[in-house]
Structure 1
Amino acid sequence: MENNLSALNYQKWTVPVPMEYGPGVRNKLVELCQALNISRPMIITDQGSLNLPFVGQMQQALTAAGLECGLFGGIEPNPTDASVLAGASAYQAWDADGIIALGGGSGLDGGKAVALIARQQRCGLWEFDFDRPVPAGFSAADFPPVITIPTTAGTGAETESTAMLTDSKRGIKGCVWHPKARPAAVILDPELTQSLPANLTAWTGCDAIIHALEAYFVPSFNPLSDGAALQALSLLWSSIDTAVNNGQDLEARGKMLIGSCLAGVAFLKGLGLVHALSHMVGATYNTHHGLTNAVILPVVLRFNEQDISPRLKPVAQALDLPDASFETFYNAVCAKLDSLNIPKSLSILGVKHADVTEVARKSLGDPARLTNPRDSSLEQLQTLLKQAIDQARH
């Protein structure tokens, strides 16, 4: 795969949106809505977050301030285009003028995808497919303002317009976006992550770590993203065990939330084969995205060994490893996955050999495959999936 690490090549970089961080900073939501001229906001969230106490509290606070707040909680754990269309209909029925995308990655992606189609009728949802030319003629005013509020430290979806959805007709995960539809503001409140169960804390935290690792290893020159990735790794790696074992530790929760956000900034560079495979396993089996990523990670690291080894020194420093050899790094990753009770094979998640060819074929078309440090064929993807099904790590 072409190496683009030279400082002589043209690059285009972006930086995130305004962010409010701190325990209790969700109380700035009314102020942010008013600053963005949102008078009838709609909270869009996922089914798992819908009944959490702070969702109702936010809705009440907005309504008490004279901002009539609607609520749509129909986004699935793996969001589909169908639920996004339903969310857009709810937005229009409420006569809303802004979106508060709240929840884990699914709630955030669902809210951002609704924003693409809620205010305009010129383009359908999949016309915003990341793999297609960006629809022309749109301005920021064509999309409602979106405030993103993550409730997990994993997705990193809060700073960009991209949203991962399952295409119901094609049976694959695809990415929709528009560069003019970026979130208008982000609220990072670690108190909202304190109620996350230990297993979901581990799974979403692994997702964030993998975002940072895969982004850093993408072979392109982007010091901004690389710096974010390495800082994310340092924060996430050192705090994930505490966050899992003592969910009320606000310091650890805060570091996880910041690290997750930084990792989301980092993967503006792209991702890699962990995500390319995980996206299509998730679309086929409806598995948890972060958990699927974590199981697949060691297999892909070993596949990429020759290409990533020269760049391991800063990673080893971020993870506080004794040396920068691949084996030390690989063994540390496997030990971390063991400590977090990540299964050692995809078969435990229900993935079957009978579907390997189809999942590999779909993964071949995933954009994340194109930014992996090492190129891959259909046969190699099949081999990786078979390894992950049988024994992803020793």
Structure 2
Amino acid sequence: MKTNWNYPTTIWVGENRIQDLSIACKNLKIEKPLFVTDKDLINLKMVQHIIKDLKKTFNHLHVFSNFSGNPVGENVEEGVGEFKKLGCDGVIAFGGGSGLDVGKAIAFMSGQSRPIWDFEDIGDYWKRADETNIAPIIAVPTTAGTGSETGRASAIINKQTGIKKIIFHPKFLPSIVILDPNLTLDLSPRLTAATGMDALAHNLEAFCAPGFHPMADGIAIEGMKLIKNSLIKAVKNGKDLNARAELLASASMGSTAFQKGLGAIHSLSHPINAQFNVHHGLSNAIFMPYVLTFNKEMIEIRIISICDYLELDKSFDSFLHWILELRKELNIPHKLSEIVDVNKINLEQLSVMALEDPSTSTNPRTMSKDDMKALYEHSISGKLF
């Protein structure tokens, strides 16, 4: 199956579409691309093969890979320095969420004189940007989770404050995206599960966010359906191309939908990711049922409205049961205390950070610091609300 989509950007979908990467560069008039991927991927045979093929077309292909998961501002600064020093004119952002976020941020910051933190997703901060020299971006995801390939932001940790910041500008959205399920076939069951739950969190929180956005709602509902259809299949059989393709689509859909907003799942996750280097999808999966039950009074009617389409009994409890059983089948821990040393947790500090997270503003239920603290406490003890 091969197809092209034009929403929310140009998306080339299908097996072996990675072979069109050089064509994508030429379409965007990129002659000196910077290939950005993380240090965990760069030495894989698949990645080396792609780079070798690109070098047949581009004499001036350069690679930047000096970063890993949960990237920090210094990673972006180093990448921008390489981009400018080597005279690059475009970015190929390749990999999971970290590779995509760093690549997008390098392309954006290559045209800026202000520090990256001046473009945090607050109000109209994005209008501070100089749009004249933002480099074109091609995004190639190798996981199906963050959906950063269709997102207008990057998640970058400020090492000085220990806070994960969302850096936003409309031109963070890549000009061309390549969704090739072949690139995800070797993803481990553990990472397939964690990234899939990340995509589910995006679609779920976007659907539950307050406000009128029927386009986002429709995309989010279908994104959840794809997860329900294909996540367990892909975890059990990583070579199932149809399941892999559906998960890639769901991830891109979740990122498209959450322009409507996210919620407390992400508010709670971001401080944990920044302070304990926990995989974002895993922390989202852990917090999901606690936030669902906390928000129940505000979202119950909406959740019931989609149960038929998801082939669930029409009740909030049925939906919650599906989430809990899905996590169990994927071997997702039920408690935060199973993955983080509780003796190192500063609940007061984490609660403030979660409350100040941009995702909090679109949680269906108004949040206080005490609410955030209670959610952390419940996730540590394993007791639902």
TM-score (norm 2): 0.95
Confirm or deny that 1:291 pairs with 2:282: yes
Counterpart of 1:363 in structure 2 is 354
The whole-number CA distance in structure 2 between the counterparts of 1:237 and 1:286 is: 28
Counterpart of 2:223 in structure 1 is 232
Q: Deviations over 1:124-181 (max 9, x none)?
A: 2111111253354756542000000110011111012300111111111111122234
1:1-394 → structure 2 map (5 Å cutoff)? 16-120=8-112, 122-131=113-122, 133-136=124-127, 138=129, 140-321=131-312, 323-352=313-342, 354-391=345-382
The whole-number CA distance in structure 2 between the counterparts of 1:315 and 1:75 is: 40
Asked if 2 retains the 8 angstrom alpha-carbon contact of 1:164 and 1:173, the reply is yes
Asked if 1 retains the 8 angstrom alpha-carbon contact of 2:265 and 2:291, the reply is yes
Show structure 1 runs of 4+ deviating over 3 A. Answer: 135-141
Bigger mean CA deviation after superposition, 123-132 or 328-337: 123-132
Structure 1 stretches lacking a partner, 5+ long: 1-13
The whole-number CA distance in structure 2 between the counterparts of 1:135 and 1:312 is: 33
Displacement of 1:332? 1.2
Asked if 2 retains the 8 angstrom alpha-carbon contact of 1:154 and 1:207, the reply is yes
Letter in 2 for 1:289: H
The whole-number CA distance in structure 2 between the counterparts of 1:107 and 1:209 is: 20
Asked if 2 retains the 8 angstrom alpha-carbon contact of 1:230 and 1:314, the reply is no
Asked if 2 retains the 8 angstrom alpha-carbon contact of 1:102 and 1:151, the reply is yes
The whole-number CA distance in structure 2 between the counterparts of 1:201 and 1:81 is: 27
Letter in 1 for 2:352: R
Q: 1:351 to 1:363 in 2, by over 3 A?
A: farther
Displacement of 1:42? 0.8
Question: How much is the aligned-residue C-alpha RMSD, in angstroms?
Answer: 1.7
Displacement of 1:43? 0.8
The whole-number CA distance in structure 2 between the counterparts of 1:180 and 1:264 is: 15
Counterpart of 2:3 in structure 1 is none
Q: 1:114 to 1:295 in 2, by over 3 A?
A: same
Q: Deviations over 1:112-134 (max 9, x none)?
A: 111221233x2221111112533
Structure 2 stretches lacking a partner, 5+ long: 1-5
The whole-number CA distance in structure 2 between the counterparts of 1:123 and 1:134 is: 12
> Equivalent pairs: percent with the same residue?
36
Displacement of 1:378? 0.4
Q: Deviations over 1:254-287 (max 9, x none)?
A: 1111111111111111100000000011111111
Asked if 1 retains the 8 angstrom alpha-carbon contact of 2:94 and 2:139, the reply is yes
SS for the counterpart of 1:152 is: coil
Asked if 1 retains the 8 angstrom alpha-carbon contact of 2:111 and 2:130, the reply is no
